[in-house]
């Protein structure tokens, strides 16, 4: 058996989400170290940086750990084939990347964790996933990669990036925690927010995408309920729908953060296609990783040739033109 301790840390705004992970660990017999941070972080990047230092501390104390974001659920037992170092990964619109919401590390990765912490501090504008992606290549760190799925409810992948599950699901990694402020997450992971429409409309559109990626029930049933427009509060699969006023929200954010159900995108398939479309030019993640560099000592240690100033300037110019094309 692959012995590990499940670890997570969270702030008060996640109190209502972490209870599910506690119940899962108790049900499956997994040891859990769960740390509540009393104060909210100033921004997402601060939270990400604290997460790295927390993981480093837990590896020193506990050995092999399975970090799960506080909103995650363990649906079925973790397979014995999951060994450290392990991370969840995704591919969307031709862009591939790490997602450290599911991450297994042990004492053998202490040096790598120290690098991760060092370069997260060096590049404070970027999420920890971006830095991890960069270092895995720069320091030749090989991970066991566990791909996850956003939309396909019939997938055979073991990590569902939503509140849904099937017989293959091991971990649910929902994104409803983004519901209160989806633009904040959009800026962190996709770069600047373009003010092409009113902020309220942008928020509603982002939330509609969260609905289609997270909802674990029958979409046709929801469409029928909302079209008939007879009831004001229908609780269905951890969501609440007001068919009269056309409002909806995850149950944990109802009614204070209910939003407009008629907002675009107006179908699962349109949402799926929009999400899968590759952005024009280079993605924010790709641009960020191309800007990252090992310092001279680390480059020498890991066998990388430092780029010339001319090549760095040329890459920066290309990044600027790619960003302007978006």
Tally of residues, the chain: 326
- Same domain, residue pair 291 and 269: no
Residue 147: domain span: 5-182
- Same domain, residue pair 225 and 80: no
Domain count of the fold of the chain? 3
pLDDT above 90: residue 313:
no
Last residue of a domain, one of 182, 212, 227: 182
pLDDT above 70: residue 48:
yes
- Same domain, residue pair 39 and 138: yes
Asked whether residue 108 is domain-assigned, the answer is: yes
Closest alpha carbon to 115 in 230, 252, 105, 43: 105
- Same domain, residue pair 211 and 131: no
Are residues 127 and 99 in contact, defined by beta-carbon separation less than 8 angstroms? Answer: no
Asked whether residue 33 is domain-assigned, the answer is: yes
Average pLDDT over residues 75-95: 92
Asked whether residue 266 is domain-assigned, the answer is: yes
Are residues 215 and 162 in contact, defined by beta-carbon separation less than 8 angstroms? Answer: yes
- Same domain, residue pair 16 and 125: yes
- Same domain, residue pair 56 and 136: yes
Mean pLDDT of the chain: 91
Tell me the pLDDT tens digit for each residue of 98-113.
999 999 999 999 999 9
The 3-state DSSP composition of the chain as helix, strand, coil percent (nearest 5) reads 45, 20, 40
Return d(Cα 259, Cα 245) in angstroms, integer.
Answer: 10
- Same domain, residue pair 84 and 144: yes
pLDDT above 50: residue 317:
no
- Same domain, residue pair 22 and 158: yes
At 88, which helix (H) or strand (E)? strand 86-92
- Same domain, residue pair 34 and 156: yes
Asked whether residue 122 is domain-assigned, the answer is: yes
Last residue of a domain, one of 126, 148, 182: 182
Return d(Cα 83, Cα 144) in angstroms, integer.
Answer: 7
Asked whether residue 244 is domain-assigned, the answer is: yes
What residue spans of 160-244 are helical by DSSP H? 182-190, 199-214, 219-228
Q: How confident is the model at residue 141 (pLDDT cuts 50, 70, 90)?
A: confident
pLDDT above 80: residue 306:
no
Are residues 109 and 59 in contact, defined by beta-carbon separation less than 8 angstroms? Answer: yes
Last residue of a domain, one of 122, 148, 182: 182
pLDDT of residue 53: 96
- Of 185-189, 191-195, 203-207, least confident by mean pLDDT is 191-195
Return d(Cα 135, Cα 289) in angstroms, integer.
Answer: 9
pLDDT above 70: residue 145:
yes
pLDDT above 50: residue 283:
yes
pLDDT above 90: residue 192:
no
CATH for 80: 3.90.550.10
pLDDT of residue 309: 45
- Same domain, residue pair 253 and 306: no
Whole-model pTM: value is: 0.91
- Same domain, residue pair 222 and 290: no
Q: How confident is the model at residue 311 (pLDDT cuts 50, 70, 90)?
A: very low
pLDDT of residue 193: 66
Asked whether residue 188 is domain-assigned, the answer is: no
- Same domain, residue pair 211 and 86: no
pLDDT of residue 91: 85
Q: Do β-strands 65-68 and 73-74 pair in parallel, antiparallel, or remain unpaired?
A: unpaired
Percent of the chain with pLDDT over 90: 78
Residues in CB range of 317: below 8 A, 6 or more apart: none
Percent of the chain with pLDDT over 70: 91
What angle is formed at CA 248 by the lines to CA 167 and CA 230, rounded to 5 degrees?
Answer: 105
Asked whether residue 191 is domain-assigned, the answer is: no
Tell me the pLDDT tens digit for each residue of 230-263.
999 999 999 999 999 999 999 999 999 999 999 9
Asked whether residue 218 is domain-assigned, the answer is: yes
Give just the sign of the alpha carbon dihedral 151, 154, 157, 160. Answer: positive
Burial class (CB in 10 A: 0-12, 13-18, 19+), 206: buried
At 290, which helix (H) or strand (E)? helix 284-291
To 10 degrees, what angle do helices 44-62 and 128-138 make?
60
pLDDT of residue 139: 87
pLDDT of residue 92: 84
């Amino acid at each position: 058996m692959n012995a590990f301790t499940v670890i997570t840390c969270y702030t008060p705004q996640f109190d209502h989400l972490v209870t599910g992970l506690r119940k899962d660990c108790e049900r499956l017999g997994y040891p859990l170290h769960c740390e509540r941070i009393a104060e909210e972080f100033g921004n997402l990047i601060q939270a990400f940086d604290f997460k790295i230092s927390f993981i480093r501390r837990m590896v020193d104390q506990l050995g092999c750990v399975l970090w799960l974001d506080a909103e995650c659920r363990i649906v079925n037992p973790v397979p014995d084939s999951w060994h450290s170092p392990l991370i969840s990964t995704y591919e969307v619109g031709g862009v591939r990347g790490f997602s450290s919401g599911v991450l297994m590390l042990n004492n053998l990765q202490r040096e790598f964790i120290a690098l991760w912490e060092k370069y997260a501090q060096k590049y404070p504008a970027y999420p920890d996933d971006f830095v991890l992606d960069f270092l895995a290549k720069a320091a030749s760190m090989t991970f066991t990669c566990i791909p996850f799925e956003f939309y396909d409810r019939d997938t055979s992948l073991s990590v569902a990036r939503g509140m849904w599950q099937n017989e293959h699901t091991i971990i649910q990694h929902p994104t409803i925690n983004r519901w209160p402020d989806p633009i904040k997450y959009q800026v962190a992971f996709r770069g600047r927010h373009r003010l092409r429409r009113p902020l309220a409309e942008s928020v509603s559109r982002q939330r509609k995408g969260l609905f289609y990626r997270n909802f674990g029930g029958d979409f046709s049933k929801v469409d029928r309920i909302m079209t008939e427009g007879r009831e004001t509060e229908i609780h269905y699969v951890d969501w609440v729908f007001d068919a009269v006023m056309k409002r909806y929200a995850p149950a944990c954010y109802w009614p204070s953060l209910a939003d407009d159900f008629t907002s675009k995108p107006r179908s699962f398939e349109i949402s799926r296609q929009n999400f899968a479309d590759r952005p024009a030019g280079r993605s924010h993640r790709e641009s960020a990783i191309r800007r990252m560099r090992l310092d001279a000592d680390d480059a020498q240690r890991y066998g990388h040739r430092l780029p010339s100033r001319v090549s760095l300037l040329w890459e920066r110019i290309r990044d600027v033109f790619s960003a302007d094309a978006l």
